[in-house]
Amino acid sequence: MKTNSIDYKSIPGWGIDIDPENEPTYPMKNYTGDDHKRSVYERSEPQPVNIELLKSNERPAFSMVFGESIPPSGLSGMIRRYAFKHSEDRYRHWIPLILADRVNAWEGIVDDLKKGTIPNIFAERGMKSEMKYNAGPFAKKALTTVAVGIALYLLCRKKK
C-alpha cells in the first residue's frame, strides 16, 4: 500500500485551529495525545495457541490473550471458518455465524445423545419456574399447541 509521504505540516494553515481541549469523548477517554503512536506499546507475552482459533481478518495477529472455550467443530465449524474469511463489515461474516449457531444447537443435541444423555429440554427451558409463576398463560399456550396439533393431524388424515 502506498502511503502519503508529503510533509503535511508545510501545508498553509496546518494546525492553526488545533484545540487540545476540544475532546468530545472526555471524560470517557483521558486523551493522552498518543493516538498516532498507537502501535508502539509494551505487549504482554502471547498466550500459547493450542486450539483452532478463528481470527478477525481486520487484525494482523492474535490478541495476546484469548478465550479457550469451544473451538469450531463439525458443520457449524465449517460455516464459522467460512464466516471468518470475511471482514466484520460484511453480511457474509455475520449471517453465516448466526446460521452456524442454529446448526450448533442441533449438533449439541446429537452430541448429548452420542454420550447417552437425553437432553431434558423441559428443564433446560426453565419450565419449572414457568409452571410456578406463569401457570395460566403456560397452560393456555400448551392447550393451543395441542389443539393445533390435533387439528393438523385430522386435516392430514382427511386428505389421505
Partner 1 sequence: MLAMNYRGPFRVRAEQRPMPEILHPEDAIVRVTRTCICGSDLHLYHGMVPDTRVGSTFGHEFIGIIEEVGPLVTNVKVGDQVLVPFNIACGKCNFCKQGLYGNCHESNTMATAVGGIFGYSHTAGGYNGGQAEYVRVPYANVGPTVIPPDMDPDDAVLLTDVVPTGYQAAEMGGIKEGDTVVVFGAGPIGIMAARCAWFFGAARVIIIDHVDYRLEFAKNYAKCEAYNFKSMADPVLFLKKTTDWFGADVCIDCVGCEAEGNALQTFTGKITLMQAGAATALQWAINSVKKGGIVSVVGVYGPPFNYVPIGNVLNKGITLRANQASVKRLLPKLIDHVQSGRLSPKDLITHRVPLEEIADAYNIFSKKLDECIKTVLIPSTKN
Q: Alpha-carbon distance 120 to 117, whole Å?
A: 9
Q: Which is nearer to partner 1, 62 or 153 (CB)?
A: 62
CB 112 within 8 A of CB 119: yes
Q: Tell me: does residue 66 bind partner 1 (CB under 8 A).
A: yes
Please state, in angstroms and rounded to a whole number, the distance separating the CA atoms of residues 124 and 141: 18
Tell the residue number behind the cell numbers 464459522, with chain if given. Answer: 80
**Contact between 115 and partner 1 per CB under 8 A:** no
- Based on the shown chain and the rule CB under 8 A, indicate whether residue 48 belongs to the binding site for partner 1: yes
Q: Determine contact, residues 44/64, Cβ cutoff 8 Å.
A: yes
- If the CB atoms of residues 17 and 42 are measured against partner 1, the closer one turns out to be 42
In one-letter notation, the amino acid at residue 40 is V
CA angle 110, 113, 118 (to 5 degrees): 120
Q: Which is nearer to partner 1, 85 or 102 (CB)?
A: 102
Residues at the interface with partner 1 (CB under 8 A) = 24-25, 27-32, 34-35, 37-38, 41-45, 47-48, 53-56, 58-59, 62-70, 72, 76, 80, 83-84, 88, 91, 94-95, 97-98, 100-102, 104-109, 119-121, 123-130, 133-134
